[in-house]
Amino acid sequence: MTQWPDQNPQFDDRINNPPGSALGEFTRLLLGLGLVTTVAALLLIAAAGRLSPLIPFAWEAQITRNLSFNEADPEALAALETLGRNLAAHAAMDEVIELHFHLLDSNTPNAFATLGGHVMVTRGLIREVESENGLAMVVGHEIAHIHHRDPIRQLGRGAVLSLVWALVTGGTGQTGLEQVLGTGGMLGMLRYSREMEREADALALDLLQAHYGHTNGADEFFLAMQNQLDREARVEFLQTHPLTEDRLTTIGAYGEQAGELQPLPEALARWAEKD
């Protein structure tokens, strides 16, 4: 015979809802997953940096095929090209790599190297340097980035990073990739790692040594930027080119500094001073 109770039992709350620190669980999960994701992302980025240079240069050129430049002054451009090609001739570059030189009509002193072998130099930069040697250091540095395939390596790393970020945040991988492969990734926005910058400087100094027989004037532009009076322009430059001090040290340590400076090609100087 069943015994019928006359009231409902009082259960312990902790049976079906065990006590525990939600915040603690959250922190543990977040840190653990964060660690795993970070390690995985670093491995992937390293792999991308290694594998990206294997992408044929033609593909790179294909991406930047539609870039259009407002080519300012044919004579000035020809002078820059001559300088660039003379320097590049000492670099033993892969013959499939094509260099394209451009003058940008911007007063911000800067120079970039980007996908497809495009090297851009601004009007502001040419105003800052006093000799061809100073300009050659900067152009040589950008040529070195292209020789080392830094733009595509950086693009590969960025793409992987975006992909990981998109996966972690649950977004579609497409938007992240679009961001990197969009115009932002093409023009000057690529930031190279410190190691890449160091290697580019080293090669640029080699090019200067081979071309002029000395490295005098290599520090011209960096010194000018350090003494730049326009604070905004200085900040902008130092943000995209950190470690200016270190670079000056590298240049100073390279070796024989004495040597005759070449004047800037006349066409370039004229273009830079024109309003």
Using alpha carbons, list the distances in angstroms from residue 209 to 89, 128, 249, 271: 13, 22, 17, 27
Give, as one character, the DSSP assignment of residue 131. B
Contact between 42 and other proteins by CB under 8 A: the answer reads no
Q: Looking only at residues 206 through 225 of this chain, which bind other proteins when binding is defined by CB under 8 A? A: none
Chain length of the chain: 275
SS3 state of residue 116:
helix
Contact between 24 and other proteins by CB under 8 A: the answer reads no
Which residue, 91 or 155, is less far from other proteins as judged by CB? 155
Which residue, 18 or 54, is less far from other proteins as judged by CB? 18
Contact between 68 and other proteins by CB under 8 A: the answer reads no
Which residue, 58 or 168, is less far from other proteins as judged by CB? 168
Quote the radius of gyration of the chain (alpha carbons, Å). 27
Q: Which two tokens stand for residue 257?
A: 């500094």
Residues 109, 117, 134, 176: which binds other proteins (CB under 8 A)? 176
Residues 179, 240, 244, 262: which binds other proteins (CB under 8 A)? 179
Contact between 33 and other proteins by CB under 8 A: the answer reads yes
Contact between 161 and other proteins by CB under 8 A: the answer reads yes
Q: Which two tokens stand for residue 181?
A: 């492969």
211 Cβ contact partners less than 8 Å away, ≥ 6 residues apart: 86, 87, 90, 136
Least distance from other proteins to the Cβ atom of residue 49, Å: 17
Contact between 25 and other proteins by CB under 8 A: the answer reads yes
Tell me, by CB under 8 A, how many residues bind other proteins.
27
Cα 59 to chain centroid distance, Å, stands at 19
Q: Which two tokens stand for residue 30?
A: 């977040």
Which residue, 5 or 275, is less far from other proteins as judged by CB? 5
Residues 114, 154, 162, 216: which binds other proteins (CB under 8 A)? 162
* Phi and psi, residue 177, nearest 5°: -65, -40
Least distance from other proteins to the Cβ atom of residue 8, Å: 6
Stretch that binds other proteins, among 15-23, 73-81, 230-238, 256-264 (CB under 8 A): 15-23
Cα–Cα distance between 143 and 190 in angstroms, integer? 15
Residue identified by tokens 């015979």 is 1
| Amino acid making up residue 274 | K
Contact between 239 and other proteins by CB under 8 A: the answer reads no
Contact between 8 and other proteins by CB under 8 A: the answer reads yes
Least distance from other proteins to the Cβ atom of residue 228, Å: 29
Contact between 232 and other proteins by CB under 8 A: the answer reads no
SS3 state of residue 136:
helix
Contact between 18 and other proteins by CB under 8 A: the answer reads yes
Strand order in the sheet with 111-114: 100-104, 118-122, 111-114
Contact between 39 and other proteins by CB under 8 A: the answer reads no
Cα 95 to chain centroid distance, Å, stands at 23
Cα–Cα distance between 199 and 209 in angstroms, integer? 15
Contact between 110 and other proteins by CB under 8 A: the answer reads no
Contact set with other proteins (CB under 8 A): 2, 4-8, 10, 13, 16-18, 20, 22-23, 25-26, 29-30, 32-33, 158, 161-162, 165, 176, 179-180
